[in-house]
Amino acid sequence: MDLSKLENALGYRFQRPALLRLALTHPSCGAENNQRLEFLGDAVLQLSMSDIVFRAHPEQEEGGMTFLRARMVREETLCAVARHLSLGQYMRMDHGCELSGGRDRPAVLADAMEAVLAAIYLDGGFEPASRVVRTLWPKEQEVSMPVTDNKTALQEYLQSKGFPSPEYRTMAEEGPAHLKVFTEAVFNQGQEIGRGSGGSKKKAEQAAAGAALEALRKAEDGK
């Protein structure tokens, strides 16, 4: 597949095109897929957006910057950028995943977008990857407030009590590649405080954070 149009849309030309092809390879295609790149791309995006928010809001405290960053890197925003790039049409996936709407599934597109950022980082370094984020991401005022952002709410709750940021761990991963269900648990200082499931790790983490918030508030009300 010719990826030159996608490179033009990204504003980046790959020295190693195989990295971009791997970033666009869904897990339904087998062991050689974009999941490892997705892991790295999440960190690249977090750092890029942290830098953008930090510089744009010198007056903001940590909690406010954390909340704003969460809006800018959540699945809906990633998916919007991926659709702007028509990322779905370039992806490699098996026939079953394609028939079930995989090319436009939000979790698939969001994961692929993170993987593409990782591919750019590995090919050319942090600066071109960060430039893609600065160029292609919507402005703050263009990003709607999330209906619920349990992860941010949980982090702010724990910080208000003097605790460090929570830690998320994948406890289970079930189902075929194109219909996976993830179970995530959230921990506070090594102790599990909530667990949830969803069709992507991000959704499962949100569910786990929601369960933790409910449990913590019930415990607080019972004091």
Would you state the structure tokens that stand for residue 88, as one six-digit string?
A: 């779905």
Same domain, 19 and 90: yes
pLDDT digits (tens, 9 = 90+) for 138-173: 988 888 665 567 888 888 888 888 899 999 999 999
Q: Is 42 a catalytic residue?
A: yes
* Other Cβ atoms within 10 Å of 27 Cβ, number: 20
* pLDDT the model gives residue 199: 87
* pLDDT the model gives residue 145: 61
Would you state the structure tokens that stand for residue 106, as one six-digit string?
A: 């939000």
**Which of the following is catalytic: 114, 149, 184, 205?**
114
Compute the C-alpha angle 19/22/26, nearest 5°.
Answer: 160
Same domain, 110 and 181: no
CATH code, 112: 1.10.1520.10
CATH code, 177: 3.30.160.20
Q: Is 114 a catalytic residue?
A: yes
Same domain, 135 and 157: no
pTM of the model: 0.70
Domain extent, residue 119, equals 4-142
Spans of the chain, pLDDT less than 50: none
**Which of the following is catalytic: 42, 123, 149, 205?**
42
* pLDDT the model gives residue 180: 84
Whole-angstrom Cα distance, residue 132 to residue 115? 13
Whole-angstrom Cα distance, residue 175 to residue 167? 24
Same domain, 39 and 120: yes
